[in-house]
Amino acid sequence: MKKSFIVSILLLFSIACFAQKILIQEGSEVVDNIQRTGLYTIIKLDNKTVEKAWEKKLKNFGKVQSSKGVLSITGAEIPGVTSKPGQVYSKVLKTKDGAKVWWAIDLGSSFVSTSEGGSSYRAASQILTDFAAECYRDDINKEIADAEKALSKTIKDHEKNIKEGENLVSSVEKNKQEKINLENKLKENAEDLKRLEKEIQQNKSDQERSRNDVSKMKEAVEVVKNKLNQIGK
C-alpha cells in the first residue's frame, strides 16, 4: 500500500511538472567577457540531465564546442532561424527551480531577440519550447517505467503472499488431518492394549490348564508303567 501510494505521488508530480506552462523569455549572459542577448527557459528538472540533453540537441545544428560552461557552435545551421551559417552561444545554469537553458544566436548583423522579431525569433523560441516539452516527456516516461517496475514487483510480492497464505491454509488442514489420524491411532492402540491384556489373561489360564494336563498325563504314564512292572509277579 505504501509503495503504491508513493508511485501515485510520483506520477502526479510528473504530470504537474509537465502541465506547467513553458515560458520563453529574453535574457542576457556574459560570454567571453561580452554581454550577449539571447532567449532562455526554465526547465524544472535535474540540471545535469537537462545539460546533457541540450548539448545533444545542439549537435543537430553543427559541431558543439564546450569551454568553461559555455557551449558554442561556429557555422551553425538552424532551420527557420538562420538563412546562412551563424554563431551560437549557450549556457545551462543551475537554478533553485531546476535548469536555465539559454542560447544566443548571432545572425551576423544582429542577435536573435524580441526587438529583431520575425520568424527567426519565433523559430528559436519554438526550438526551446519543444526541447523543454521533450525533457518533461522523457522525465515522465522514465518515472512511468520506474512506476511500472515497482508495480511489477508489488504484484509479484502480492502473488507471493497469496501463495504463502494458500500454503499456510494447506498446512493447517494437513495438521488437522494428522491430529485426527493420531487420535484414531491412539484409540486403536488403546483397543489393541485391551485385547492384548485379555489375551495375556487367557494365556495364563491356558498355561494353568496345560500344566494340569501335563501333571495328569504324568500320573497316567506312571500308572501304565506300574501295570507293566506288575506282570509276572
Does residue 72 contact residue 163 with C-beta atoms inside 8 Å?
no
Residue 43 pairs in a beta bridge with 99
CA gyration radius for the chain? Answer: 50
pTM over 0.85: no
Is residue 2's pLDDT more than 60?
no
100: pLDDT confidence band, cut at 50, 70 and 90?
very high
CA distance 233 to 222: 18
The confidence score (pLDDT) of residue 34 equals 93
Q: Is the pLDDT of residue 135 over 90?
A: yes
